[in-house]
Chains A and B, each alone.
Chain A
């Protein structure tokens, strides 16, 4: 098993390494302008400078760990992560009860679904002007936009999840003496979790897209802000370094979420772990 995963990792590295080599060769030979496409080495150097603490270590300004994490990149990543988490939580915490109600009650569905269907196709980006009018600049409009992006995937999946609960579980629970509240809590909710969690995963993905966009517009830190700022100075190496950081952060978030999902769904059929 171990051997195979190593082999797979090695295999997966081949194509990126070849591309990197071609890219480096093109840059070193002067084939492409370094202003437009800097060499991988230049990007790596810039990435390191972006990551490393700006000031030399000084115990007067707090502990060693704090110093180690005082680099611009870390601060930007923390800023973006904070907004993703807050925005996602706001969106999901509103979407979950609403989705449960709409899935479980036909009346709630009839009342709310037309509104949902009209609002859902509006991309969160289209709310930017309104969000700035309402909330000004800074974190509030960003968190508003991100929560919108997370809201609909969680909502729609929660509705679907509750609706697809197999009637046989409800019958079994009633037969075992469970009342409506127990059935909701112990049967409908867990039976719907596979759907809800896939909504959560999509919602976090959307939140991550929206955070970058909203940082380009409403705030002056974060990874989205930083790559736009770098463009103004023609620092193409820093743009690419920022993009790579965004990719790595997204990957880290997604694999974290997948791990949590796999744990929560360890009872579920057809899951490998």
Chain B
């Protein structure tokens, strides 16, 4: 079981002379194997929610359970992919992918075989002995994905993983991710700014409001994959989401003009 239950979650940050309510009464019930995108303008609490699921920071109130167990700390049952890749630059690609297996205490030959299989799956076989600095952004993100897949975690948490990539690389990684998801049946929570990316990928799109972060809309995407960005359904949904997101974007900008925030 790898469903995620988010129950009355609040997150407040103390800032000098004030308090930021980053998340307010978030309730989400994510089914095992579901691909969910969190969508919203900058500062609406997407990363905060993802970090809470990952166990990096605890909700001020409320509870989160993954696969029936309450989240108390980060763990390899919830693999995280960061926008900044977060590869260990002092390890080769091979060693990076192997790290989680070593920590787990997997036998050497089993681990090596598993790493080779993952590198192969992500088109990285040729690059095992390279260091991250010698790879392009797209390649680095592939390594980061291979590294969490090595954990065999049922849940993948991805915080704008493709945000820094050019459009073509981005599309090819999106397709790769969908293939992996279809093949391995992971539950994926994917944070993005991009409406198109959300529609292209998700079973379900959760739009968040700006400060306090609440669920503004929870939309199911029924289109069959691969999805065609030129199709009428795609564009109807895109218009609808654009309207929702830009409402929140305007609230963000108004807050900025009022000097309440700088993000």
Q: How far is the CA of A216 from the CA of B93 in the complex (A)?
A: 52
Contact A175 B131 (CB under 8 A): no
A31 → B minimal CB distance (Å): 57
15 contacts between A and B (CB under 8 A): A169-B86, A172-B86, A174-B56, A175-B54, A175-B76, A175-B78, A176-B147, A177-B103, A177-B151, A182-B103, A187-B88, A190-B91, A267-B92, A267-B133, A268-B89
Contact B89 A177 (CB under 8 A): no
The B contact surface, by secondary structure, is loop
A186 contacts the other chain (Cβ, under 8 Å)? yes
Give me the 4 closest cross-chain CB pairs, A-B, nearest first.
A177-B76, A172-B86, A190-B90, A176-B100
Which residues of A are found within 8 Å of B86, using beta-carbon distances?
A: 168-169, 171-172
Contact A175 B89 (CB under 8 A): no
Contact B90 A267 (CB under 8 A): yes
- Mask: chain A, 168-196; 1 = CB below 8 Å from B; 0 = not: 11011111111100100011001101000
Which residues of B are found within 8 Å of A187, using beta-carbon distances?
A: 88
**Chain A interface residues toward B at CB < 8 A:** 168-169, 171-179, 182, 186-187, 190-191, 193, 266-269
In chain A, what residue has the closest Cβ to B92? Answer: A267
In chain B, what residue has the closest Cβ to A183? Answer: B103
Q: How far is the CA of A51 from the CA of B131 in the complex (A)?
A: 46
Selected from A171, A178, A269, the residue in CB contact (under 8 A) with B89 is A269
Q: How far is the CA of A176 from the CA of B160 in the complex (A)?
A: 19
Contact B84 A168 (CB under 8 A): yes
**Chain B interface residues toward A at CB < 8 A:** 54, 56, 73-76, 78-80, 82, 84, 86-92, 99-100, 103-104, 131-133, 147-148, 151
In chain A, what residue has the closest Cβ to B80? Answer: A175
Contact A177 B84 (CB under 8 A): no
Contact B90 A193 (CB under 8 A): yes
Known: A176-B100, A267-B131, A267-B133. A171 touches B74 (CB 8 A): yes
Q: How far is the CA of A82 from the CA of B194 in the complex (A)?
A: 63
Which residues of B are found within 8 Å of A268, using beta-carbon distances?
A: 89-90, 133
Q: How far is the CA of A267 from the CA of B104 in the complex (A)?
A: 25
Which residues of B are found within 8 Å of A173, using beta-carbon distances?
A: 88, 99
Q: How far is the CA of A193 from the CA of B82 in the complex (A)?
A: 24
Q: How far is the CA of A171 from the CA of B81 in the complex (A)?
A: 11
Which residues of B are found within 8 Å of A267, using beta-carbon distances?
A: 89-92, 131-133
Which residues of B are found within 8 Å of A191, using beta-carbon distances?
A: 88, 90
Q: How far is the CA of A186 from the CA of B95 in the complex (A)?
A: 11
Q: How far is the CA of A175 from the CA of B57 in the complex (A)?
A: 12
Which residues of B are found within 8 Å of A178, using beta-carbon distances?
A: 99, 103
Contact B89 A172 (CB under 8 A): no
18 additional A-B pairs beyond A176-B147, A178-B103, beta carbons within 8 Å, are A168-B86, A171-B74, A172-B80, A173-B88, A175-B56, A175-B76, A175-B78, A176-B76, A176-B103, A176-B148, A176-B151, A179-B103, A186-B88, A186-B99, A267-B89, A267-B132, A268-B90, A269-B89
Contact A174 B89 (CB under 8 A): no
Which residues of A are found within 8 Å of B131, using beta-carbon distances?
A: 266-267
B245 → A minimal CB distance (Å): 27
In chain A, what residue has the closest Cβ to B132? Answer: A267
Q: How far is the CA of A160 from the CA of B51 in the complex (A)?
A: 28
Q: How far is the CA of A193 from the CA of B92 in the complex (A)?
A: 16
Which residues of A are found within 8 Å of B88, using beta-carbon distances?
A: 169, 172-173, 186-187, 190-191
Contact B90 A175 (CB under 8 A): no
Which residues of A are found within 8 Å of B89, using beta-carbon distances?
A: 267-269
Which residues of A are found within 8 Å of B75, using beta-carbon distances?
A: 175, 177
Known: A171-B74, A190-B90. A176 touches B99 (CB 8 A): yes
Which residues of A are found within 8 Å of B147, using beta-carbon distances?
A: 176
Q: How far is the CA of A219 from the CA of B4 in the complex (A)?
A: 73
Q: How far is the CA of A188 from the CA of B82 in the complex (A)?
A: 19
A261 → B minimal CB distance (Å): 13
B143 → A minimal CB distance (Å): 12
Q: How far is the CA of A182 from the CA of B88 in the complex (A)?
A: 14
Known: A177-B76, A267-B133. A171 touches B100 (CB 8 A): no
